[in-house]
Amino acid sequence: MSRSERKWDHIRFALKNQEKPLSAFDELKFIHQSLPNISTLDVRLDHSVGELCLSSPIFINAMTGGGGEKTYRINKELAQVANDTGLAMAVGSQMAAIKDKTERYTYEVVRKENPSGIVIANLGSEATPDQAKEAIEMVEANALQIHLNVIQELTMPEGDRDFSGALYRIESIVRAVDVPVIVKEVGFGMSRETVKSLSSVGVSVIDVGGFGGTNFAEIENNRRERVLSFFADWGIPTPVSIIEASSIAGHDVAIVGSGGFRGAIDIVKGIAIGAEAVGMAGFFLQTLIEKGIDSLKEEVKTIHHEMAIIMTALGAASIADLQKAPLMITGETYHWLNQRGIDTKIFSQRCIK
């Protein structure tokens, strides 16, 4: 199967993979505030993540490019949405265009459609420093994402089997490029030990990419004859992963959350437990393909509006305030954190002012 056919398979199967009846975000509950003492007009959504100044804490996470016309059109429309709504946007893995230059246009369109926005390049951890520089130059990127996708590769019939040396290669890239490097998972989450290792080699932003959203084990299992069913529910749920990661994050590393965010309340909860920004992929793709570009622009504007409403109810005028809002952690999320030695009372007993 060609790389370009595989890209389309991922999109097709990802669209079928968006129905999730249960969400770990339901196990986080805000403590109601009867005297929030602010107006919706006070609420500001702009925020800095490391060196990146974002007008919204939401970004369009890495999805596509490198699969000819169909992926060109998706990237073009996603970039138009980003341009119109002020969201940062990551492109899908650019290895396809590094290996086959005729695919460059499917990524370059993202910068053309959004000349002054925040665009993030993307490669896997097999990349060399020269390939990283080429990916950044291709879209005049403001940052570079390096994805870690061990479970996806192991499930992929034609996937990689050797993951040795990834941390060393990431360190070489961090030293070689002059934009911030964001290391991300693709839906299996990161433990605090992984976050520690990444921050020790100079990675300044970490997207924990937790379990609960688009599931690449399921997507790749659709493409296998013998299914690896043991990977279907493998991974650290997104809220757990954000809390684990931010429990050790210092001043030099920012934690970003992604994996299963579908609306304003999930995003607000993700930020309240420690994420500096939130990436969304599958839900945006589904809205774009099933409802069209205007519906996606509307959806983003509605999410921003609803975030302001929820933040008003909490008395949080800024993203920094929101990160101090008190909340209860219940159910499996509570048990998981407890077993990992993280005291959840920090969240239930704090206050904004």
Ligand X SMILES: Cc1cc2nc3c(=O)[nH]c(=O)nc-3n(C[C@H](O)[C@H](O)[C@H](O)COP(=O)(O)O)c2cc1C
Residues that bind ligand X (CB under 6 A): 10-11, 14, 61-64, 92-93, 122, 145, 147, 184, 186-187, 209, 213-214, 258-261, 280-283, 285
Shortest distance, position 345 Cβ to ligand X, whole Å:
29
Q: Which residue is nearest to ligand X (CB)?
A: 213
* Residue in 150, 248, 247, 164 with CA at minimum distance from that of residue 199: 248
Instruction: Pick the closer one to ligand X by CB: 31 or 166.
Output: 166
List Cβ neighbours of 110 (8 Å cut-off, separation of 6 or more): 65, 75, 76, 78, 79, 82, 89, 91, 119, 139
Instruction: Pick the closer one to ligand X by CB: 237 or 274.
Output: 237
Torsion of CA 217, 219, 224, 227, to 10 degrees: 50
Instruction: Pick the closer one to ligand X by CB: 11 or 325.
Output: 11
Instruction: Pick the closer one to ligand X by CB: 12 or 301.
Output: 12
How many residues does the structure list for the chain?
Answer: 353
Tokens of 171: 């360190």
Shortest distance, position 284 Cβ to ligand X, whole Å:
8
Residues 141 and 179: their CA atoms lie apart, in Å, by 8
Shortest distance, position 258 Cβ to ligand X, whole Å:
5
Shortest distance, position 238 Cβ to ligand X, whole Å:
8
Instruction: Pick the closer one to ligand X by CB: 66 or 274.
Output: 66
Q: What is the DSSP letter of 26?
A: G
Shortest distance, position 326 Cβ to ligand X, whole Å:
27
Shortest distance, position 351 Cβ to ligand X, whole Å:
31
List Cβ neighbours of 233 (8 Å cut-off, separation of 6 or more): 211
Please, how many CA atoms are within 13 Å of residue 174, restricted to the half-sphere of its CB? 18
Residue 158 dihedral angles phi and psi, to the nearest 5°: -100, 20
Instruction: Pick the closer one to ligand X by CB: 238 or 312.
Output: 238
Enumerate the H helices of the chain as residue ranges.
3-16, 68-85, 95-99, 105-113, 129-139, 150-155, 166-176, 192-200, 216-221, 238-248, 264-272, 282-291, 293-314, 319-322, 331-339, 345-348
Instruction: Pick the closer one to ligand X by CB: 296 or 317.
Output: 296
Instruction: Pick the closer one to ligand X by CB: 75 or 312.
Output: 75
Tokens 């529910």 belong to residue: 233
Shortest distance, position 256 Cβ to ligand X, whole Å:
10
Shortest distance, position 83 Cβ to ligand X, whole Å:
19
Tokens of 85: 């709504």
Residues 67 and 2: their CA atoms lie apart, in Å, by 9
Residues 246 and 253: their CA atoms lie apart, in Å, by 9
